[in-house]
Amino acid sequence: MSSVKIEEGDRRMIGTHGEQTYPHECCGILLGKMYDEIKVVEAVKPLDNARTDSKENRFLITPHEVRQGEREAHRSGLEIIGFYHSHPDEVASPSGYDLENAWPWLSYVIVSVIHGQAAEFRSWTLRDDRSRFDPEEIL
């Protein structure tokens, strides 16, 4: 099982972002360092959900924002190691939509926001064959 290290402050920032955008999904980029078995989050970059519809159960990060995130990461000697988003009034497990829109290796952090309050906090990685997500240990 792979693992990802996320400081308490960054977890809180993600939870708070999900509470602020409730009942819509929030989203953002995780910047950090990737080692063999572990990824370390060094910074969290909140973004606006670029979806124009279905914001309650879909999120979109534009290629432009990913490029900007990459530039920002490189300036600080970091890389994009994953993405986060919220699930308003849903469990923190990836949806079919999430499966279709994910890339292997990266961490997908999902926070469930129940009645406007951040609750379950989990991380997932996509298998190389893109068949499913596996849970990731959060340190």
Q: In the set 18, 69, 80, 98, which binds Zn ion (CB under 5 A)?
A: 98
Is 93 a binder of Zn ion (CB under 5 A)?
Answer: no
Q: In the set 3, 16, 93, 95, which binds Zn ion (CB under 5 A)?
A: 95
The residue range among 16-24, 45-53, 98-106, 120-128 that interacts with Zn ion, by the rule CB under 5 A, is: 98-106
- Number of Cβ within 10 Å of residue 71's Cβ equals 9
Q: Which residues pair with 88 in a beta bridge?
A: 113
Q: How far is the CB of 61 from Zn ion (least distance, A)?
A: 12
Measured distance CA(81)–CA(32) in Å, rounded: 6
Q: What DSSP state is assigned to residue 106? A: S
> Among residues 3 and 95, whose Cβ is nearest to Zn ion?
95
The residue range among 5-13, 48-56, 93-101, 113-121 that interacts with Zn ion, by the rule CB under 5 A, is: 93-101
Measured distance CA(59)–CA(82) in Å, rounded: 14
How many residues would you count in the chain? 139
